[in-house]
Structure 1
Amino acid sequence: MKLLREIKKYNLSNLIIHSYQGCHYKLHIYKKILQENDIIQSMSRKGNCYDNACIENFFGHLKCELVYQTYFHTKEDLINAIEVYIYWCNNERFQHKLNNRTPIEFRCTA
């Protein structure tokens, strides 16, 4: 099983894995593998597409602003670029919906 190989390859304990309520994510063997490896399973509510809306929005921006515009030579280059992008989004990127503040500034004043 590919999932088990990936879990063993990387240290994924304390990971939270989020998915929709597809039948393969509800399988007993899938849940058991996650539990045995200290991975927390999170599922969206049944029939509620809004549960994933904010992360889908984030990934849309990530792909358009970073992934589709850059060629990555190694997986490490990709990981580093994503870390820089996430830092930029949270600490430097002003958002109109947050009264032209960064998410960090907004959270600190809330």
Structure 2
Amino acid sequence: MRNLSNMVQSIKASHMLNVSIRIHFKRPTGQIEDGQQDFDLASFGGFLPSIGDMILDPGVLASLDRRQRQNRRMWTVVGRVFNPRDNADYIALIVEERQPNEREDCFVPYG
């Protein structure tokens, strides 16, 4: 019985690894917009970001230097939406976007 329980847990864990995490932006007006950016759990170290977590946006426009703070964006997770009946493998992260401040320079890769 113990082996069956372990096998079920393993199947559940491997299924969770296949979730798609979609970024949605909460604008100052309160409007939520689809950011059209998908990530997997591996993108976040195997963890689903929680409310309050910050994410350094990996994207930078092609002509800009990604090592410059003013060219980067920081996302703060303000909500998560799950839809287990219609789309079980999809989780929406609602984030507020801002430029990293000077105290956060250590998170922006340099050199």
TM tier relative to shorter chain:
under 0.3
Higher relative contact order (CA 8 A, sep 6+): 2
Structure with the bigger percentage of helix? 1
Q: TM-score when scaled to structure 2?
A: 0.26
